[in-house]
């Protein structure tokens, strides 16, 4: 069946997308800094994602910084009908692998304007606050997001790395369409957030979905299940996520067309109850 087997999800204020997307962080340089080592390869994986049916791509102003958004626009603009691109702002970059929360209202507004320019759109499909800045009142951060939506600069709004309480706080200012927290087989610290998102029909985008650590070591549970089902360990990890919640929208990232194709094939993998129980017990 291909990627369509993953099913679809309705994102509030945005619409329906296929429930397996692509994360465009890895098309930048080492440390998520600067240009990719092979620009042609980066463009090829972006094109292949869309050709294989991906209709939701996740990026951020800080990936590069600016590099990921620019490559997406250079490769895909004018965008195919139905393609949605979600981006983020709220983290300054001071060097490779360095991320500094920055949530001043004027900064967030500036970054939205720059993302609009780089992506070549009149409104961002989904704009997510990359991190809540502890040095800035949340009212200032959430307030400017709500203003940007009212002004038509963004269609849908989301959050990243937040607690249930922070989601509920943000809901006093705008409709929370998505939450992007770290979540995978061995890191389920956001289980309560996932449960809340599922109950409230908020899209949950797990970042680092394939970082399963010890679970994917030789001779481990994931390898045994993968061998039994004739799949890769990454496919098993993604299939588990897809079956975990109907609001789950994995966005595995890669700079390789081969790995992209492998990841997207997880949509066709159905885990039996025995496998699900074994994977549930991994954490």
Residues that are catalytic? 63
DSSP string, 180-198: E-B-BTTB-TTHHHHHHHH
* Rounded distance between C-alpha atoms, residue 271 and residue 204, angstroms: 20
Beta-bridge partners for 10: 16
CA-to-CA dists, residue 193 to 91, 184, 196, 201, 251, angstroms: 22, 13, 5, 12, 18
User: Which residue from 266, 160, 243 is spatially nearest to 208, judged by alpha carbons?
Assistant: 160
* Rounded distance between C-alpha atoms, residue 71 and residue 141, angstroms: 28
Rounded-to-10 torsion of CA 88, 89, 92, 97: -10
Q: Are 89 and 129 in contact (CB under 8 A)?
A: yes
Q: How many CB atoms lie within 10 A of CB 251?
A: 22
Beta-bridge partners for 33: 64
């Amino acid at each position: 069946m291909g990627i369509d087997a993953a099913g679809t999800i309705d994102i509030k204020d945005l619409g329906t997308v296929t429930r397996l997307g692509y994360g465009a962080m890895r098309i930048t340089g080492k440390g998520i800094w600067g240009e990719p080592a092979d620009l042609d390869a980066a463009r090829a994986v972006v094109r292949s994602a869309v050709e294989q049916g991906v209709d939701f791509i996740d990026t951020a102003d800080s990936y590069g910084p600016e590099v990921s958004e620019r490559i997406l626009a250079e490769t895909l603009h004018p965008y195919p009908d139905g393609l949605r691109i979600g981006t983020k702002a709220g983290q300054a970059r001071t060097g490779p692998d360095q991320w500094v929360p920055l949530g001043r209202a004027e900064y967030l507004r500036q970054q939205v304007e720059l993302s609009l320019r780089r992506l070549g759109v009149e409104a961002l499909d989904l704009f997510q606050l990359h991190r809540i800045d502890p040095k800035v009142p949340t009212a200032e951060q959430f307030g400017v997001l709500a203003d940007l939506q009212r002004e038509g600069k963004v269609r849908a709004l989301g959050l990243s790395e937040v607690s249930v309480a922070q989601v509920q706080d943000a809901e006093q200012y705008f409709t929370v369409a998505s939450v992007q927290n770290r979540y995978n087989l061995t890191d389920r610290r956001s289980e309560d957030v996932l449960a809340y998102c599922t109950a409230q029909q908020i899209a949950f985008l797990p970042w680092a979905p394939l970082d399963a650590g010890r679970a994917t070591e030789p001779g481990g549970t994931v390898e045994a299940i993968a061998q039994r089902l004739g799949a890769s360990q990454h496919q098993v990890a993604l299939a588990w996520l897809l079956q975990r919640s109907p609001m789950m929208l994995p966005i595995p990232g890669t700079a390789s067309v081969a790995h992209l194709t492998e990841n997207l094939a997880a949509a066709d993998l159905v885990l039996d109850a025995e496998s699900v129980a074994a994977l549930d017990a991994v954490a």
